[in-house]
Structure 1
């Protein structure tokens, strides 16, 4: 048994016995003294029996719980800040203007400005959680941040529409490496309970809040400076945040340092997601009559089938273990989450199109009109965290689906010219609630449905649905728009049809959620499985009396 294991074993014993001793010596406490029987760790038992020790427990990789409160809080804030800086909304809010600056006037092609970043971010996030488990979540997060900074810098030097979108696609890979590993760092170091709900609630709120800040940033730079400086600023901001994380975060031991990466599964899954998304986002510009569109669509389906077959039958350490879907209602939950985010992506893009194309708002005016979105996104994070232990997950997701359904409905029924306060203002408020409610509920359900060492995989899955759904929704809605607007001759008809599509998929998500998703409210405090528990977690819990009460109940039940 290693020195680290010995110290942790002794620390665990001393924490438990000293806490119970203090409680038994308290004159205000009545009743016989409690007795705690502590078993030796499995490593010691295995060595005494002459057998090799089992794999190291996961608590060896949770450094946040053994640091000072100020440093831990600072790191948590920086992790959430990393999600703020990588928001793709800088190219959604300013997408039309950026497209024109790069020489492309056609709105049916401008959607690539908004779709290129979340396309690769959503596709590559599938494997980045596993990379974090093997090489360390901190290390992969920092590598992703460095990649994000590099390609943000390169984006600022691009003068071609095609090259710019390629650069934004590469930037999305950095965001993909950041997202699930940031979630895993929060989830691994915070047991199920109120603090995890709050942390993940704030993390989910950072995406829409970062979206508003990104739109404001785009408005300021496109109004008062060359657009290139927007990406230079993003690169500098990213370097500051990740540099601080690199300095503050202590050394980390990976969850599964001897694990293998399922490269075949990663290539099959990522290729399928990229091709399927590319086909739908390219269709509005070239049409479905283009031969390669149908060919690539068929290829993407074949690759996806190959990915599922490989993961199920051949992969020794699958990048996406299919047993994660055995949790009750989990498969339907995945579909509901994807449809909800497709509707979010639709409403985001056509809110920009409507205000900037039909009502001739500037990017800065649009960002100022989005202030209620930023405020309500913060509020939604609090609401989502508060609801998790009090309400079944299907009801929280239903609230999110209703909010985005009403958002699209308000926009598709408004006249071409109208005061902002009549329908666009309430639509902006409602839209802020869907991402937080759906993401927080789905992320917490996913993280609480798996073991501690699978947190990166759970984060990858929900992150894929979030980001990929936004980008895929743009492609589907864009196809509907082009086909119903007579290829640009009836713009308002195309916008309305695309928004009706958003209403429809939100309604399908709501119906599926209400009919099939059955998840009880989650009011757990701590890890359910004994093997997932960490003495550092217990030390934190003892400070609040949680473990003392739990162990007293255990002793009492053994000694009636």
Structure 2
């Protein structure tokens, strides 16, 4: 049966849309979730981190499974898992159940996202049509992140926080029903041994989860407590074992030889820090807008929209300007814009004008994260063999997600500590929350400053249009 490639693209893009949507749609629902399920302040960030850690940690395994078992099959499995866990998250009656559902939902996303991309690259021949398809794919993914906060606000205000999860279910059911009609069954034949390296994925993700748990628990239990030290030491030990397993594996999920490339190593660090600054800022500001300034979920979502618009504009501009200015120059500009944006946001009070205290920082930060991210992605795949470009891009995409989760854990822990100290010294609840918001954004700004230093060390590349397109396809 002949299938329209553009119908296939529509199905794949809608699936990717809801995966990206779920990174942001939950943020504006966090205060309601915290109240309804009695989340503690330090555990609330797991609603975000559980999803991003499992998504990033198993992304490469999802790509390998799609290669070995068939992309359409893994795409459907990922969709079903994602939809089922969305339903469970919406029905959750305790913090533990919601966090567990979010974690497995992230695993579903890690299966379906690389499978969808693999189908897309096979469906469209290399050249103009594939570039157009990838442009649509990327635009819809970016739109998912931007519209997520508004959709979340609408659903929470009109119905309840549970609908930010329930909304995925009918979409998933519809997609599963039409996939056999519009998506062809394709299977790749990757060179080398046919192995999943599931051990590598489990070790790496478990190590990261243990480290994040240790950082999160440090605020309440103390950095020197047995629980925190056990989690941190155990997490680091698992990550060391993970590196050893990957070094000896005949078909590793993370080919360590890729990091012989200075461009890839530096870009991975830049993207991890970019993810840390972004997730931290998003999490803190969503709480600040509602708990300190009294905004409704919908109002908070709408107030994020300008940042989304400048992020999309920054990505488009960076793609056009990278030929002229070079990757290093754009990364430096992006890092500077991020630092300035975060510092401006860090000066906002409890009652000041949105237009003067928040909007300038949101606009600059949105512009900065993509102005840095686009050239970093291009640089990451510039210095590796063509047949390993997909693996390299998968690594930096995973690093971005993991960096975001680790950064969020650090920022949240130190912010909560500051709020607790302020309350202990007699500050009002509102002032303590403002102080914690300022402290968190200052730490996020430190991430961006470190990124500025890293950007100075990145190679200066001026890719042509074909190289930019190849990087977009690999991403």
The TM tier, using the shorter chain, reads 0.7 to 0.9
Tell me, yes or no, if structure 1 residue 240 matches structure 2 residue 174. Answer: yes
CA distance in 1, matches of 2:372, 2:11: 23
Does the CA contact (< 8 Å) of 2:266 and 2:454 recur in 1? yes
Find the aligned partners of 1:438 and 1:92 in 2 and give their Cα distance: 23
Residues in 1 aligned to 2:99 and 2:72: alpha-carbon distance in whole angstroms? 28
d(CA) in 1 for partners of 2:133 and 2:371?
A: 14
Provide the rounded CA distance (Å) in 1 between the counterparts of 2:190 and 2:285.
Answer: 44
Cα distance in 2 for residues equivalent to 1:496 and 1:219: 24
Q: Which residue of 1 aligns with 2:259?
A: 325
Aligned equivalent of 1:91: 26
Question: Quick check: 2:201–2:253 contact (8 Å CA) kept in 1?
Answer: yes
Give me the whole-angstrom Cα distance separating, in 1, the residues matched to 2:86 and 2:458. Answer: 40
Distance verdict in 2 for CA 1:341–1:526, change over 3 Å: closer
Q: Displacement, 1:311?
A: 1.6
- Residues 311 and 366 in structure 2, CA contact (< 8 A), matched pair in contact too: yes
Query: What residue is the counterpart of 2:12 in the other structure?
Result: 79
Aligned pair 1:288/2:223, yes or no?
A: yes
Give yes or no for contact 1:129–1:456 (8 Å, CA) kept in 2: no
Contact 2:274/2:373 (8 A) holds in 1: no
Give the whole-Å Cα distance in 1 for the aligned partners of 2:158 and 2:229.
43
2:473 counterpart residue number: none
Asked if 2 retains the 8 angstrom alpha-carbon contact of 1:102 and 1:160, the reply is: yes
Please, which runs of 5 or more residues in structure 2 have no aligned partner? 424-431, 471-475
Residue of structure 2 equivalent to 1:260: 195
Range moving further from structure 2, 114-123 or 436-445: 436-445
CA distance 1:496–1:229, change in 2 (3 Å):
closer
Conserved in 2, the CA contact under 8 Å of 1:180 and 1:456?
no
User: Taking structure 1 as reference, are residues 512 and 381 closer, same or farther at Cα in structure 2, changes over 3 Å only?
Assistant: closer
Cα distance in structure 2, aligned partners of 1:261 and 1:355? 44
Change (3 A) 1:229 1:526: closer
* 1:28 match: none
CA distances 1:399-422 after superposition (whole Å, capped 9, x unpaired): 332332222111112233211101
The alpha-carbon deviation at position 240 of structure 1 amounts to 2.8
Deviation at 1:82, TM superposition (A): 2.2
Name 1:523's counterpart in structure 2: 464
The SS at the match of 2:43 is helix
Cα RMSD after superposing both structures: 3.0
Say which of 144, 153, 159 aligns to 1:219. Answer: 153
CA gap of 1:506–1:190, structure 2 versus 1, over 3 A, is farther
SS of aligned partner of 2:403? helix
Matches within 5 A, 1:85-484: 85-86=18-19, 87-104=22-39, 106-186=40-120, 200=134, 203-256=137-190, 259-312=194-247, 314-447=248-381, 449-451=383-385, 453-484=387-418
Indicate whether 1:503 and 2:445 are aligned. Answer: yes
**Contact 1:78 1:245 survives alignment (8 Å):** yes
Gaps of 5+ in 1: 1-66, 530-560
Give the 3 Å change call, closer, same or farther, for CA 156–414 of structure 1 in structure 2.
Answer: closer
| TM-score in terms of structure 2 length | 0.87
Change (3 A) 1:371 1:267: closer
Q: Which has the larger radius of gyration?
A: 1
Rounded Cα–Cα distance in structure 2 between residues aligned with 1:284 and 1:445: 37
> Matched residues in 1 for 2:276 and 2:238: separation?
22
3-state DSSP class of the match of 1:517? Answer: coil
Q: CA deviation at 1:395?
A: 2.7
SS in structure 1 at match of 2:213: helix
Deviations, residues 120-156 of structure 1 (Å, cap 9, x unaligned): 1122223222222322334323321221011101112
TM-score, normalised by the number of residues in structure 1:
0.75
Cα offset, 1:183, TM superposition: 4.0
TM-superposition CA deviations, 1:242-265 (whole Å, max 9, x none):
544442122312132862122332
315-324 or 131-140, which moves further after superposition? 131-140
